[in-house]
A and B are shown apart, each in its own frame.
Chain A
Amino acid sequence: MAPYILKRLAAMVPTLLGVALLIFLLLRVVPGDVVEARYLTQGSQFQSQELMNQERQKLGLDQPLWQQFATWMAGLARLDFGLSMWTGSPISEEIKLRFALSLQLALMASTIATLLAIPLGILAAVKQDTWVDYAVRVFSIAGLATPSFWLGILMILVMLTVFKWMPPVVFTPLWVDPWDNLAQLIWPALAVGYRYSAVGTRMMRSAMLEVLREDYIRTARAKGLWLKLILTRHALKNAILPVLTVISLEFAFLLGGLVVTEQVFNLNGLGMLFVEAISRRDYTLTQALVMLVATVFLLVNLGVDVAYAWLDPRIRYR
């Protein structure tokens, strides 16, 4: 097992290098830089080219591209993300609080998605082509079809007009005040979890249908074994893994990709930080965030594959 994991870890390096190169170049192609963002956007009266050049020099933006890239890579190799170009503070400090929020939200949303997907998927498969199946599918496809920002607007509207209540506006870490924390995060987690349960429900239904058709299940059915027993003992075991896989693969996306949801619910998470960093042309911070999300994505992938290899010896030495 260990050599397999090591091999896979080594294979991550070129992919990550590619990601690094891509984001590095993309950012330099996009018009504008952090100095313009700082000095040209406030509608102030006095512009000084001299001041702007001086700031660029300070940030190393006047160096040739290869040199900037090399500096960044050298830092990354030491796990040092460097300083944010906008605030001048260490990037680890900028990310810390937002990461906690995004991680918690992603975990909550994934949990909600799993809790919805598994029972609904089983139900739809067992009752295939009946109204129950249809209802489940309409429910889950509707989730996939509803833009999360719109759902968010509606949720806030209902809370305001019907319940006359507003979730807290400032993030409180779970360990400081669990109640305040949950009161803020449960709504976006529901909106997002519902949406992502759709993929899982569909997977669960397909996998379940497939398993139900396998010979040994048919035999079991023919022998008159209790359906419930089949579900729990045989079918479920084989069908549930793929669902967990899909949901864990979405996890990496949830961590950094909830830009619109975070905006609607005013969550100061990684998605929002992404948008802020890009809109300020904070190269170093954007780069760090992209690397973070890509690494998590690859690690989750690896984790899933390793879990499979562990469970199914047939594919271990693929």
Chain B
Amino acid sequence: MERLVRMLAFAFAAMLALPGFAQSPRNGGELVFPVPSEPPSYDGHREETFGLIHPIAPFYNTLLRIDPNDKSGTKAVPSLAESWTVSSDKLTFTFKLHKGVKFHDGSEMTSKDVKASYDKIIFPPPGVGSSRKGQYADVAAIEAPDAYTVTFKLKEPSASFISSMASPWNFIYKADILAKDPHWYEKNIMGTGPFTFVEHVKGSHIVGKKNPNYWDKGKPYLDGFRAIFIRDSASQVAAIRGERAHIQFRGFSPAERDSIVSTLGKKVTVQESPWDCILMVGMNHEKKPFDDKRVRRALTLALDRNQASKSLSKIAIVKEVAGVQVPGTPYATPPAELAKLAGYWPDIEKSRAEARRLLKEAGVPEGFSFTFTNRGVPMPYEPLGVWLIDQWRRVGLNVQQQVIEPAAYFGTIRKGDAQVFMDFQCGYIVEPDLDMYKFLSSDRNPANYGRYKDPVLDALYDKQSHAVDFEERGQIVQQFEKRLLDEEAHYLMTLQWHRIIPHSAKVHGWTITPSHYLNNTLDTVWLSQ
């Protein structure tokens, strides 16, 4: 009897622990979510802000997508393409399209539209902006042999190709419209997605309503959605707390999560994940003494990452100790291996002693003063800036902070006047090709603000990029990481961002991933009573 009670209790607890368990999706309701930034235009191929993805992605589909239920955000699954095959030389990918997919204007979506959309992305006509064509450098040609088949021909095998086809930006547009005006989609919305466009009031909101003819039968569950533009995060929190909105898809800080949970209690579900964004410190290799790798190593050795992971995670949106890949994803270096890199050692005293020794050896005097350039963004740049300066103070470095206004920031550090500065990258899919591109030599990548050239590092990058074997690729990624962060210490990582989404417990069918660009089609989302 007692056992039975315990079992029942356990089963009950398990039901509570898994939101959505034993419930079937309910139709109806309008999902309301604040978006911290408003889209400049509607063209996903051109823009780079999540402010476009959140309100606009529900109007479109992509060829493949990242599995909406996969927490690692790395698994590509079919969407408009119901299946794909790859040739034995790994150079030809063939996608079979769903039949009967209709655009919102009633016309049928065929291979012609997929080809036109990808041609615009990879081979844009003059005057048409395509932000991420660099991701498809390996693609030689796109063909549409019949109405429901699309083939991509590559120049070289590419380990990241399938993931790239699931890019959340690559909305499929209608070929006839693109042929008439390649800029049409900047000002208009017309896709195949689960929702159709209702209105956009500038500075206020975007509304979408259920697409009754959606090709994936039974979906979407929602009657519609309302994306409201709220710039200030305190007001976004207020909207969730006041139950005026269900969810904000970018992420909240720990303090904001706590205030939401303390007001709403059981009416809120919290999902957390490492976030594929990281702030790193760049050191200008053209400025003395940062041309000396001993000095650069000292700067990374001074940081107590393990302690910061506990303390800073209470006040800022950072948490996981990480290398070049998001912890918990397939190519991430296991913690035990990571702890061998400079600045990741478990013993901080030993690490700081080594930092002081290296500084002395490099001829940097005690109390040496330099300027750290930071970007004027409150979260998490500012707390991390305070932390870095404090950590460096502990190895005898006297650091001043110069803060540059966000819009001018990268333009300024691009010029190469800064000594040591904060740098940033954010990924829309967790993929070594994307996450490591940043660190290539300055002649290959204009976004290398550290201004160094390292052919060895470049060669490692190219090797992993074409390594189609998982194990082999993983090893090369680790070699790359060791060279970048330890041996040469070209850049140093702070902590991985940490994404926190506290949302109304009424929201179901949505899973957090490491990227705030992913999983915003909303076709699987539903609201309980």
Binding site for B on A (CB under 8 A): 30-33, 36-49, 51, 54-55, 58, 86-89, 93-94, 96-98, 156, 160, 165-166, 168-171, 263-266, 268, 272-273, 276, 278-281
Contact = CB atoms under 8 A, between A and B. Distances in A.
A44 B405 CA distance: 19
Interface string B163-206: 00000000000000000000000110000000000000111110
B85 interface: no
Interface stretch (B14-22, B139-147, B292-300, B423-431): B423-431
27 contacts: A30-B408, A31-B411, A32-B411, A33-B411, A42-B48, A43-B426, A44-B48, A45-B134, A45-B447, A46-B132, A46-B133, A46-B437, A48-B133, A87-B40, A87-B202, A88-B41, A89-B202, A94-B203, A156-B238, A166-B241, A169-B228, A169-B238, A169-B242, A264-B232, A265-B235, A266-B238, A279-B406
Nearest to B226: A170
From A49, A89, A266, A279, name the one whose CB has the most chain B CB atoms within 10 angstroms. A266
Contacts of A87: 40-41, 202
Chain B CB count within 10 A is highest, among A36, A46, A266, A276, for A46
B204 A44 contact: no
B306 interface: no
A55 B129 contact: yes
Contacts of A40: 410-411, 414
Contacts of B425: 43-45
Contacts of B424: 43
Interface residues on B, range: 35 or more
A55 B445 CA distance: 20
B511 interface: no
Contacts of A279: 405-407
Interface in B17-51: 34, 40-41, 47-49
Contacts of B446: 47, 49
A41 B131 contact: no
B439 to A, nearest CB: 10
B186 A88 contact: yes
A86 B39 CA distance: 9
A201 B252 CA distance: 43
Contact of A54 (B41, B127, B408): B127
Nearest to B201: A97
B410 A36 contact: yes
A47 B135 CA distance: 11
B449 to A, nearest CB: 10
Contacts of B411: 31-33, 36, 40
Contacts of B228: 169-170
A8 to B, nearest CB: 34
Most buried by A among B132, B229, B230, B238: B238
Instruction: Give the top 5 A-B pairs by smallest Cβ distance, nearest first.
Output: A266-B235, A46-B134, A32-B408, A40-B410, A43-B426
Given A40-B411, A87-B41, A51 B231 contact: no
A37 B407 contact: yes
Nearest to A263: B232
Interface of B: 34, 40-41, 47-49, 126-127, 129-135, 186-187, 201-205, 228-232, 234-235, 238-239, 241-242, 244-245, 277, 405-412, 414, 424-428, 434-435, 437-438, 445-447
Contacts of A47: 445-447
Contacts of A168: 244
A178 B131 CA distance: 44
Contact of B135 (A46, A166, A280): A46
Contacts of B126: 54
Given A46-B133, A55-B129, A32 B407 contact: yes
A51 to B, nearest CB: 6
A30 B47 CA distance: 24
Contact of A273 (B47, B203, B408): B203
Contacts of B135: 45-46
A266 B234 contact: yes
B205 A266 contact: no
Contacts, number: 137
Given A97-B203, A166-B238, A266-B235, 18 more contacts: A41-B409, A41-B410, A44-B48, A44-B131, A45-B134, A46-B131, A46-B437, A47-B445, A51-B129, A58-B127, A97-B202, A160-B238, A166-B244, A169-B244, A170-B204, A265-B235, A278-B407, A280-B407
Contacts of A97: 201-204
Given A40-B410, A279-B407, A266 B134 contact: no
Nearest to B129: A51
B426 A42 contact: yes
A96 B426 CA distance: 34
A49 B411 CA distance: 12
Contacts of B187: 88-89
Given A32-B411, A166-B241, A280-B407, A48 B134 contact: yes
Contact of A45 (B203, B231, B437): B437
A31 B230 contact: no
Nearest to B126: A54
Contacts of B203: 94, 97-98, 268, 273
Nearest to A96: B202
Nearest to B447: A47
Q: Which of B409, B427, B445 neighbours the largest number of chain A CB atoms within 10 Å of its CB?
A: B409
Output the residue of B203, B231, B427 with the most chain A CB within 10 A. B203
Nearest to A40: B410
Nearest to A42: B48
Nearest to B426: A43
Nearest to B409: A41
Contacts of B414: 40
A227 to B, nearest CB: 49
A168 B231 CA distance: 14
B232 A170 contact: no
Nearest to B415: A31
B51 to A, nearest CB: 10
A177 B411 CA distance: 44
A284 B254 CA distance: 38
Contact of B277 (A41, A43, A51): A43
Contacts of A266: 230-232, 234-235, 238
Contacts of A36: 407-408, 410-411
A156 B241 CA distance: 13
A89 B202 CA distance: 10
Contact of A41 (B204, B241, B406, B427): B406
A305 B243 CA distance: 50
A266 B131 CA distance: 31
